[in-house]
Each structure stands twice: as structure tokens, then as C-alpha cells.
Structure 1
Amino acid sequence: MMETTQSDYSIYRQVVTQLMNDQEQLPSLPMLTLEIRRALAKPEVSMPQLVSLISRDPALSALLMKYASSALLRSRVAPKTLQDVLRVLGLQQVDRVVMLHSVKSLFVLHSPSHKLLFMDAWQRLTLKASICGFLARKLGQVQADHAVLASLLSEVGSLAVLSAFKGGDLVPTPARYHGLCQAYSKSLGLMLLKKWGVDEAYVDIVREAGNWPLQRQRQIELLDLVNLSLFHTLLDSGSEAPLPALTSLAAYAKLNGLHNDVAADGSLALVSQHWDEIQELAAVLR
């Protein structure tokens, strides 16, 4: 592995910049994902056709089964077959879970050091997505699966940063990786989502995530949930970056008296009191 010093940080920046200048190197959605999404978009698609397509990816089938049985949905009867899952979730939710699964499988890991960085980032992203989905279900303004995917895609650029280091001989330390994410995650995320042709609502989330004071409407919207989940993830990680007080966030101002209690640690009591449930969903996504 290449030896570097702190002054060599420019080497890492150069590698990521080269990736941004040659967007063909950015990961594309898998062909099976594209086939499934095209099929889901067809009004005439049959359930057996979808089951046949999805069954070609056992990991995706397993994720859909776990997701449909998770606390986020609270189905009265746990689905037993893939066809049951499709009925429980509906085609729109299936499409979002397919995207979520694809994101994890896109990034090739070139060494144990890459894998450690990826798994640390994935653990943080899935926790954030789980908080977001939980809040969506509790507050009732946004579909939970919509919130989960939006939160995950809001930082997909952080995963893309790792794809710049394809050689395997140059792996950033956790601190350098964090610095690269701060510098390039948003730009790379925008490039990826435009390349994948995802809904513009998700592209907007990437642009505005972390914009704490932004308020565009009175009701809770998708961005508010993503920002609340980002705040709580940073708080949980003990981030060295200074965080504003929760009560100063535009998203917090939209919470009603049933949901706006603040815990002693500065988090929403709603989140801290349901931490086990949130972690349960995060385990499903991992």
C-alpha cells in the first residue's frame, strides 16, 4: 500500500477530481435493476413476471422479505412468499427497495481497507435512513420507504468517493476519507443521481441536505425528515463538527407538541425513546 504523509492529501483530491472529470467511471445501475424498474413501470406487468425477475437476485429477494416484515410496516400477517411481499409493499415501494439494494451492491471493494471504510460509511448511512423512515411513519406526512431511500441517496456521493480508488494501492485513512466526503460527496452524489435518472425530488435532497435553516413550506416535507435524521446521526457519532441546537432547525419548528420534546442529550425524545426500533430497521437494511 502506498505510503503517504499529511502533505500528500493533494494526491487523494487529485484521484477524486479525475473521477469527477471522467463521469463514465462512475458506477452505473446493474442491468437487473434496470430490468426490474422497467417492468415495475409497465401497467400490464404481471405478478409472476416480477417474481421471476426479482428471484434472479437472491440477496434482493431476502431484503424485500425482511423489509416487508419489518417494524416499519407492521404488517398484520408476515409475508411468506415473494408474491406476498409484492402485494404487501406495492410496486412503488418495491421499486424503492430495489434502488436501495442496488446502491449497496454498486461499489466494488478492492481491499480489506476499502471494505472497512465502506462498511463504516454504510452503517452510518443505514442508521440515518432508519431514523428518517421511523420519523416519516410517526409524523405521517411522507411515506416511510420514500424517506428511507431519500436519506440513503442524500449521501450516495460518500460511497462514490471510495470508487475513485480503484487501484487498491492508495486507500485514504478514515480522517482523510471524511475530509474527501466533505469536499466531494455532494457533487458526486448529484452526478450519480442524474446519471441514474432518479426522481428529481431525490436530486433536490442531495443539494439541500444539511441546510438547517431552509424552510419552504409549513408542513413537514421530505427534506425536513432527512435533515432531522442527519442531525441525529451526527449527534450519535459524536461528530467533531459543531452542531446547531435541535430547536434552531427549521424542521424542528414544524413539529407539533406531541413530537417536539427534547431529550437531555439534545435529541428528539421521540427518537431516543425508540432507539431499539430504529436499530432493528437499520439491521434489516444492512
Structure 2
Amino acid sequence: MEAPNTSLAPEALRFALYNRFLKGEAKVPQMPESLLRVRRLLNDPHASLERLARTINSDPPLTAWLMQYAESPLLLGFRPCTSLRDILSRLGTRRLHNLVLCFGMRNLFIGKEPALQRVFRARWKAALERAAYAAALAEASGLAEVDDALLAGLLQDVGSLPLLAELERWPQKPRGEAALHELCEHLSGDVGVVVMTVWKLPTVMIECARHRRNWPREHIGKADLADLVQVASHLAAPVDEQPLATLPAFQRLRETCPGLPRDPSQLVETLVDGLARWRLLLGSRMSVSPGAAPGNGSAPFLPRA
């Protein structure tokens, strides 16, 4: 395959990179192997719950994370879960699929360059914070299922992962972290749409990536998941040029969920307890070590913000 032209201006570089993804010349990451195994079983009408439990048990960190999720207030019922089989039965097919993909996301980037690793870790840390806000906001508003919001928050910037991996083939381009982040900000949404389309994820998830920085976005009807994730993203990392109170997504969310505080600062106060819980869940087993290359199958700890 012909090597990419590395002597390009920033705008031309962005166009060239995106074209490589559209043409299939740049590598789109495969779904996490743990999810592929679970997907095959979930699609097999003859697969038993016991077989599914054995498959998940073969991945101890994933098993521990699912058990921790099952202890959240969302799943606490009158009868406690005493086994992984009980947990899987309570989670259900769609929720299990979402949670396994959430957990597997942390190992999708396999770059070796320190500069690219640093940017990946920063963006993954931001994704965890955005997902925590999205889950807490879904829990408080009832607008979406919490696991859908959790996954959408993590996937909103998924396009950055293959972008950073592809840049290893462009060694002459600057490796300044600010420039790399700017490149991701420009292209992550478009590349994320490509990635999630290849993965055959629901359109509602794809739209969250497509509109990740489309702050003026307008649409007819009630607030949707993309609106919720936009608000969560703004709460996690406020955008100076677009105050939350004037964000169309926030205005639709308030109209759709009148029980939510109308004042942004009061909304943050409402989310405090839920946010702490989701930060704990996401930070405990889904972070990437500052000293280890992502993608090595481990799940070391990165201190939470």
C-alpha cells in the first residue's frame, strides 16, 4: 500500500486522513474480543446462560466489573445476586452487550509512540468522565437507559483511537500534544461514524459521535441521546464559547425532563451523588496505566480526576 503524503498543511492533512478511513485504507479497530465472544453466544439460540457465564468467567477483570455494576442501585432488587449467572440473568441481552463493549473499549488503542499514548490516555480519561456524567444525567432524568448513556459517553470520541493509530504511519507530522488533540477534535466525530458503522452499532449511538461538537444542533421533537451526551460532555469539560444555559441540547433536555433543575449549577448539584458512583465504577477497572502501552490486555489503574 502506498505510504501517505506527510508534507501536508493542517487542513489538507485532515482531509487526507479522513479520506483514508472512507476508502478503507486506514485500519478500523476490531471490536473487543470479549464482546465478539459474547455477541456470538447472544446470537446463538442454543447457547445456555451457563455457557455464557463460563465464557465471561474466563475474563476475570470483566467478571469483577460486571459484578460491581450489579451492585449499583439500578439493579438492586429484593433478591441479591449470588452468582454470575444471576447477574447475567438480571442484566439482560442488550444491557450485557453494552457493558461488555464499555469494558473492552480501554484496550482498543495499541500505539507504541509515547506522544500518541499520552494523548490517548488524556482522551480516554476524558471519555470516562463524560460517560460518568452521561450515566448520572440519564439516571436523574430518565431520558435514556443508563447503560445506553454510559456507552454513548464512552463512544462519542471513539474516532480518536484509530486516528492516533493511523498517525504512526505519518512519522514526519508534529507530535505536539496540542496539535494532536486539535486533530482529534476536528476528525473524531466523522471517523467515529465510520468505526461504529463498521461495528453495526445502533444509529442512536452513531448520532452521538456525529454531533459530538455540533453545539448549535437543532431537531424537531423531544431531547434524544445525542442531546444528553452533548450536555454531559459540556458538564465534564465546559466550552467557553458556548455556555451550557444557551446550548440547544440543554434547552431541549429541560423541556423534555421538567423535573431537572433549569439552572446549570443546580443541575450539577443534583448529579453529585450519582456522578461519584459512576466515577468509581468507571475508574476502578477501566483505566489505562500511564506507564504501560494500551492494548496489552491488562487494566491497570489511572488516578481519577
Paired with 1:52 and 1:183, the residues of 2 have a C-alpha distance of 42
1:270 aligned partner, one-letter code = T
* Residue 205 of structure 1, CA deviation: 2.1
How many Å separate the matches in 1 of 2:230 and 2:85? 35
Deviation at 1:100, TM superposition (A): 1.4
Tell me the residue number matched to 2:200: 197
RMSD of aligned residue pairs (Cα, Å): 3.0
Q: CA deviation at 1:156?
A: 0.4
How big is the shift at 1:191?
A: 0.9
Q: Match for residue 156 of structure 2?
A: 154
Q: 2:58 aligns with which of 56, 59, 78?
A: 56
Percent identity (aligned): 24
Report the counterpart of residue 295 of structure 2 in structure 1. Answer: none
What is the CA–CA distance in structure 2 between the aligned matches of 1:247 and 1:216, rounded to whole Å? 17
CA contact (8 A) 1:205 1:223 kept: yes
Return the letter of the residue paired with 2:261. N
- In structure 1, the residue matched to 2:111 is 109
TM-score by length of 2: 0.77
* Per-residue deviation, residues 8-35 of structure 1 (Å, max 9, x unmatched): 8579658845742444522112444223
Asked if the contact 2:204/2:226 (under 8 Å) is kept, the reply is no
Residue 173 (structure 1) shift: 2.4
Q: Give 1:262's aligned residue.
A: 263
What is the number of residues matched between the two proteins? 274
Q: Give the secondary structure class of the aligned counterpart of 2:242.
A: coil
> Aligned match of 1:215 in 219, 227, 241?
219
8 Å Cα contact 1:262/1:269 also seen in 2: no
2:167 corresponds in structure 1 to 165
Classify 1:51/1:185 alpha carbon distance in 2 versus 1 (closer, same or farther; 3 Å). same
Paired letter, 1:92: R
Distance in 2 between the 1:210 and 1:263 partners? 19
Segments of structure 1 that go 5 or more residues without pairing to the other structure are 1-6
Within 2, Cα distance between the matches of 1:12 and 1:74?
A: 50
Q: What does 1:1-286 align with in structure 2 at a 5 Å threshold?
A: 13=14, 16-17=17-18, 19-20=20-21, 21-23=23-25, 25-71=27-73, 73-74=75-76, 79-166=81-168, 172-212=175-215, 213-218=217-222, 220-235=223-238, 242-255=241-254, 256-262=257-263, 264=265, 268-272=268-272, 275-284=275-284, 285-286=286-287
Distance 1:72 1:273 in 2: 13
Residue 136 (structure 1) shift: 0.9
Does the CA-based 8 Å contact 1:39-1:50 persist in structure 2? yes
Classify 1:203/1:14 alpha carbon distance in 2 versus 1 (closer, same or farther; 3 Å). closer
